[in-house]
Chain A
Amino acid sequence: MWRRVTAPQLLQTDTTDSYGMKPILIFGVEAIAGTYFSSPTNIFAPASTPARSIFDLSLLVLAVTGAIFLVVFTLLVYAVSKFRRRTDDAQEPAQVYGSNQIELAWTVIPILIVAALFMATARVIADTEKVTAPKNSIAVIAIGHQFWWEFRYPGLGVAAVNELHVPLSEPAYATPTFITLLSADTDHSFWVPRLAGKTDLIPNHPNEMWIDPHETGVFLGQCAQFCGVQHAKMLLRVYVQPRSEFDRWVEEQKQPARLSTDPSEGQRIFESTACINCHNVAGTPANGSFGPDLTHLMSRDTIAAGAAANTPANLRLWIRNPNAIKPGSLMPAMQMSDHDLDAICAYLETLR
């Protein structure tokens, strides 16, 4: 009966019900969190094993805490409604000082409950954290910057910015992605709620996490550790693609910038201003690494770490005055003439 109300995005894969709690709770959780508040960042809509095992554990925890709440709340409501003083009643009630049996009962029962919760929790910690990367996994190094994401694929020789591309992990042929988390400056946290819980990116403290997405699509997330002025617009997009599509993306990203033999005016301006101090365009003198790599800028859907769609108008606005889109961004306003601005935009739009 409960399956009839199942929101499709919540149960993409029919994995095992490890605690037997789903029939009891799925209705409430899905009805409230899944159907009523549909959200691309809902933690109760897992699409990857780490998020799925948290979801399963959370059902157990919610069931236990919900039951405790119902019992204690009922007692409270009963006490509040039953044991009121009537206005004409001047006599003191019976003075009761306590009861060792009752105290023992409400000590032992909670101990048993938290012991059970502890063991269930310890199992999920072990399941998630002891996993080692299988041979056919994708390795990614994620580096947090103020206020954007850099992704390197050491095994594939490509890089991505803000938009992480990973292959779909089929149940029959699992290709999980193992992410090493580093930071170039302050603390950040990688959080894509439908794929996994968050893990922090801390300078001098490399961390690991993994995902194995079971469905294709774009998964949204954002930085979850306050990292400075523009923490709010350090958004994160994960593109889960079928393996063939992912491989094609890798091939495209491997190419150097497709440039005409005769540099355009925009390219000359780009290469003779401060742009190249921070940005890299493979195959040209621009080899900065402080800002995002622009070699394949036009292959991305967004700019400014997801803060704006990658349209010519937004790109022009971003170069003219980054603060208009993302106040506090570390990209300086370049104070260019309209002519230079147009030329640079035209050049950037060739970087596919």
Chain B
Amino acid sequence: MTTNSIPWPGAGVAEPSVVDRLHGWVTTVDHKRLGILYIVYALTFLIIGGIEATIIRIQLIRPHADFVSPEVFNRMFTMHGTTMIFFMVMPILFGFGNYLIPLMIGARDMAFPRLNAFSFWLTAFGGLLLYFSLVGANGLYGAGNAPDVGWFAYAPLTSRAFSVGHSTDFWTLSIFVSGFGSIGVAINFIATILCMRCPGMTLAKMPLLGWMYLVTAGLVVLAVSPLSAAQIMLIIDRYLGGHFFDTQAGGSAVMWMHFFWVFGHPEVYILVLPAFGFASEIIPVFSRKPIFGYSVMVAATVAIGFISMSVWAHHMFTVGMGRALNTLFVFTTMAIAVPTGIKIFNWLGTMWGGKIEFKTPMLFCTGFIFQFLLAGLTGIMLGSAPFNWQLSNSYFVVAHFHYVIVGAIVFCIFAAIYYWYPKISGRMYNERLGQLHFWLFFIGFHLTFDFMHFVGLLGMPRRIYTYEPGRGWETLNLIVTIGVFFQAAAIIVMLVNLVWSYSRGEKAGADPWDAWTLEWSTSSPPPVYNFAAIPAVRSRRPLWDLKHPDNPDWRYEE
């Protein structure tokens, strides 16, 4: 058997049939295959969500455009938000975690392989349920429709009085079902990271990515649970005569906001911490230096984990919470800027004095630092409650959170895709196409999201399907829309690169980046059992120790 392919069940006899191969993928409990399933699934939804974003932007290219009706526009932004958060970014991060964590901590699989498979299929089913609304939401008699209440689905717009038909039910159930998948995989991450590390790998010697996923998984358990509870309450309201959020019967719309954002804000950190993990693995390798201030990075991650549970109501400064609560949430929001800033400084410290090689993954990580810096600073502006009274629900907010989710998280995801592609596929990607992807996406990103800030400052609210001329918004919206096409072209370049390189790329070998963590010590792609013998480590960079026996890390690490 070659080391280039993951062996099929019953392989070695003859080439397995297509049915056998598919059966192998459906029934697999191997963490690497599930990781790949998550990633491919997420990339599929990236394309779908991207098409929705393009429709939104074409509609807004000029005032009073009629590319789509208001009803369709409202469905598009609801589906775009829900898809990108729950069925693109979350699954792709779970996918990389699944693939990488056992390899990086020297384990042969996740702690609960069957739970792992179950969690993936729940998430997959959730995504299908959301999109089945296109067929099923109006029942069997005709054209369906998709949810149109916005991705945070504020009450009472979700009550049956204002949301007739079943579109909101599909939204609720798909979030509920995929939420269980998320909690399942989070428990798996926690158990794996705490119990399955190889000999010698204390928590203090674990790669930073492991720490980031540990905190993320804890946040998933804490934050997705209230979201799931809120979905149950909404279903009770809609079908069992409950009045939790039904304002016409004395329910509270504000309570839904609290339920949603007590999930929604930690969710941002659930998404961004794994991205920090990617950056913390990739920047050192391409700077040829260990991460600067490992223990401070760990402390900052844990601090972010705790503080992130206490900032949710900064999404609600315009709700009328009163002076005391507004002031309190300004305080916690300002506080979380400190550990976040420390991380940026530590990545800079890692690059400082290094010998940086700007391969595609490092380009994306550099873009990430730049954009995350700006996203953090606009976050401080939004965290200043009075400024927020002007900025919230305007395009400034849309620009800010896309800076976080695309400029920071998706840039790190692209870095991770290129960095670990040789490990996963056994082949090198095409470097020139990779750089083309970076520059196209970088230009498109800045055209789109930089100018969104300005149109927000000029008073354009989000979620409007059209706007009036004469408010200074026309040129800015045109530029924003032009940027989308650069981004779409970049995604196509990436997909071409990934598909083409899978069969035509150079053989990667076990360790193409001269890297230092355990996943690079096994073949590319790794065998089913990952490691012939479970490794033992003495430092955070076991392969550095192997490569430099005269100057090993464990002499210097505390």
Contacts of A122 in B (CB 8 A): 327, 330
Most buried by B among A110, A181, A226: A226
Is there an interface contact between B471 and A40, defined as CB atoms closer than 8 Å? Answer: yes
A54 to B342, CA, bound (A): 29
A96, A99, A129, A220: which contacts B471 (Cβ < 8 A)? A220
CB atoms of A228 and B464 under 8 A apart: no
Question: Does B113 reach chain A (CB closer than 8 Å)?
Answer: no
Task: Give every chain A residue within 8 A of B373 (Cβ-Cβ).
Answer: 69, 72-73, 76
Separation of A202 and B258 alpha carbons in the complex (Å): 14
- Per-position binary interface string of chain A over residues 61-95, scored 1 when its CB falls under 8 Å from any chain B CB and 0 otherwise: 11011001100110110011001111001001111
Which residue, of B318, B348, B369, has the highest number of chain A Cβ atoms within 10 A? B318
Which residue of the partner chain, among A72, A96, A185, contacts B156 with CB atoms under 8 Å?
A185
Is B254 engaged at the interface, CB distance under 8 Å to the other chain? yes
Q: A-B contact count, CB below 8 Å?
A: 290
Contact with A72, one of B253, B295, B344, B366 (Cβ below 8 angstroms): B344
- CB neighbours of B295 from chain A (8 A): 98
* A229 adjacent to B70 (CB under 8 Å): yes
Q: What distance in Å separates the Cβ of A102 from its nearest Cβ neighbour in chain B? A: 7
Determine if A193 is an interface residue (Cβ-Cβ < 8 Å): yes
The residue that B254 contacts in the complex, of A103, A196, A197, A202, with Cβ under 8 A, is: A202
- B352 x A118 contact (CB < 8 A): no
* Assembled-state Cα–Cα distance A314/B227 (Å): 46
Whether A61 contacts B292 in the complex (CB less than 8 A), given A44-B457, A186-B157, comes out as no
Whether B70 pairs with A232 at a CB distance below 8 angstroms is yes
Chain B, interface residues (CB within 8 Å), range: 35 or more
Q: Chain B 234-251 against A: per-residue CB contact (8 Å), 1 yes, 0 no?
A: 000000000000011011
- The one of A62, A65, A75, A85 in contact with B356, judged by C-beta atoms closer than 8 angstroms, is A85
Is there contact, CB below 8 Å, between B468 and A202? no
Shortest beta-carbon distance from B315 to chain A in Å? 12
B156–A197 CB distance below 8 A: no
With the chains together, A98 CA to B389 CA distance in Å?
A: 41
Contact of A124 among B252, B386, B392 (CB under 8 A): B386
Name the B residues within 8 Å of A44 (CB-CB): 457
Give every chain B residue within 8 A of A223 (Cβ-Cβ): 461
A198 to B386, CA, bound (A): 10
CB <8 Å contact, B470 and A43: no
Chain B neighbourhood of A54, CB < 8 A: 386-387, 389-390
Which residues of chain B come closer than 8 Å to A133, judged between CB atoms? none
* A257 at the binding interface (Cβ < 8 Å): no
For residue B465, CB closer than 8 A to chain A, the reply is: yes
Tell me how far the C-beta of B280 lies from the nearest C-beta in chain A, rounded to whole angstroms: 13
How far is the CB of A5 from the nearest CB of chain B, in Å? 18
Please state if B390 and A197 are interface contacts (CB–CB under 8 Å): yes
CB interface residues, B 447-480, toward A, < 8 Å: 454, 457-468, 470-473, 476
A193 to B456, CA, bound (A): 11
A61–B381 touching, CB < 8 Å: yes
Assembled-state Cα–Cα distance A220/B461 (Å): 13
Identity of the chain A residue whose Cβ is nearest the Cβ of B556 in the assembled complex: A97
Whether B253 lies near A203 (C-beta < 8 A) is yes
Whether the Cβ atoms of B464 and A121 lie closer than 8 Å is no
Alpha-carbon distance A40/B469, docked complex (angstroms):
11
User: How many of A's residues come within 8 Å of B, CB to CB?
Assistant: 94
Assuming the contacts A54-B390, A187-B253, asked whether A42 and B457 have C-beta atoms less than 8 A apart, the reply is yes
- Given contacts A41-B471, A79-B351, are A95 and B556 in contact (CB under 8 A)? yes
Check if B384 sits within 8 Å of A117, measured CB to CB: yes
- Cβ of B349 within 8 Å of any chain A Cβ, yes or no, is yes
Q: Closest chain B residue to A102 by CB distance?
A: B349
Q: Are B319 and A200 in contact (CB under 8 A)?
A: yes
Asked if A189 is at the interface of the complex by the 8 Å CB criterion, the answer is yes
Kindly state the separation between the CA atoms of A128 and B132 in the bound complex, as whole angstroms.
47
Say yes or no: B390 contacts A198, CB within 8 Å. Answer: yes
Scan B326-369; emit 1 where CB is below 8 A from any A CB, else 0: 11001100110110011011101101111111100000001001
Q: Report the separation of the CA atoms of residues A118 and B380 in the bound assembly, to the nearest whole angstrom.
A: 10
Per-residue contact bits, chain B 214-245, to A (CB 8 Å; 1 contact, 0 not): 00000000000000000000000000000000
Contact of A47 with B by CB under 8 A: no
* Chain A residues in 8 Å Cβ range of B495: none
Of the residues A69, A84, A130, A327, contact of B377 by C-beta under 8 Å: A69
Contact A43 B293 (CB under 8 A): no
Give the contacting residue for B355; candidates A93, A110, A125; CB below 8 A: A93
Shortest distance from the beta carbon of B502 to any chain A beta carbon, whole Å? 29
B374 in contact (CB, < 8 A): yes
Q: Report the stretch among B6-14, B27-35, B283-291 that lies at the interface.
A: B283-291
Q: How far is the CA of A110 from the CA of B467 in the complex (A)?
A: 40
Contact B386 A128 (CB under 8 A): yes
With A39-B473, A93-B354, A232-B466 in contact, is A199–B320 under 8 Å at CB? yes
Identify which of residues 123-144 in chain A touch chain B, using a CB-to-CB cut-off of 8 Å: 124-126, 128-130
A177 / chain B contacts, CB cutoff of 8 Å: none
Q: How far is the CB of B465 from chain A (nearest CB, A)?
A: 5
| A211-228, CB < 8 A from B | 220-228
Q: Is the interface of A mostly helix, strand, loop or mixed?
A: mixed
In the complex, which of the residues A85, A118, A235, A328 contacts B334, with contact meaning CB atoms closer than 8 Å? A118
Output the least CB separation between B346 and chain A (Å).
Answer: 8
In the complex the two chains form, what is the Cα distance from A202 to B394 in whole Å? 18
Contact A191 B320 (CB under 8 A): no
Closest residue of chain A to B461 (Cβ to Cβ) is: A224
A226 and B377 in contact, given A197-B389, A204-B247 (Cβ under 8 angstroms): no
Give the residue of A69, A85, A129, A181 whose beta carbon is less than 8 angstroms from that of B357: A85
Which of B319, B387, B457, B470 is close to A40, meaning CB atoms less than 8 Å apart? B470
A316 is an interface residue with CB less than 8 A from chain B? no
Residues B330 and A96 in contact, CB atoms below 8 Å apart: no
Distance of A325 Cα from B346 Cα, bound (Å): 55
Q: How far is the CB of B454 from chain A (nearest CB, A)?
A: 7
Q: Determine if B253 and A61 form an interchain contact, defined as CB atoms under 8 angstroms apart.
A: no
Interface presence of A207 (CB below 8 A): yes
Chain B contacts for A339, CB-based, 8 A:
none
Instruction: Let me know if B320 and A205 touch, CB within 8 A.
Output: yes
A114 to chain B minimum Cβ distance, whole angstroms, is 4
Chain B residues with CB under 8 A of A121:
327, 330, 334, 384-387
- What chain A residues lie within 8 Å of B319 (beta carbons)? 200, 202, 205, 207
B154 contacts chain A at the CB level, 8 A cutoff: yes
State A187–B157 Cα separation when bound (angstroms).
Answer: 8
Interface membership of chain B positions 418-446, coded 1 if the CB is closer than 8 angstroms to chain A and 0 otherwise: 00000000000000000000000000000
Contact bitstring B290-308, A, C-beta under 8 A = 1, else 0: 1011111000000000000
> Is B557 among interface residues, defined by CB-CB distance under 8 A?
yes
Is B141 close to A, CB under 8 A? Answer: no
Find out whether the CB atom of B457 lies under 8 angstroms from the CB atom of A33: yes
Q: Please give 18 more A-B residue pairs, beta carbons under 8 A apart, in addition to A58-B384, A129-B326, A232-B463.
A: A42-B459, A53-B386, A58-B387, A61-B381, A73-B370, A83-B287, A89-B355, A93-B289, A95-B556, A96-B289, A99-B349, A106-B341, A124-B386, A191-B393, A191-B459, A208-B320, A220-B471, A225-B318
A-side interface residues toward B, CB under 8 Å?
32-33, 37-44, 51, 53-54, 57-58, 61-62, 64-65, 68-69, 72-73, 75-76, 79-80, 83-86, 89, 92-99, 102-103, 106-107, 110-111, 114-115, 117-118, 120-122, 124-126, 128-130, 181, 185-187, 189, 191, 193, 196-200, 202-205, 207-208, 220-233, 235, 327-328
The 4 closest A-B CB pairs, nearest first, are A197-B389, A41-B459, A39-B472, A232-B464
Q: Would you mind naming 17 contact pairs between A and B with Cβ atoms under 8 Å apart?
A: A33-B454, A57-B387, A61-B380, A64-B380, A85-B288, A85-B356, A95-B556, A98-B292, A111-B338, A114-B338, A117-B334, A120-B384, A121-B327, A121-B334, A205-B320, A207-B319, A232-B463
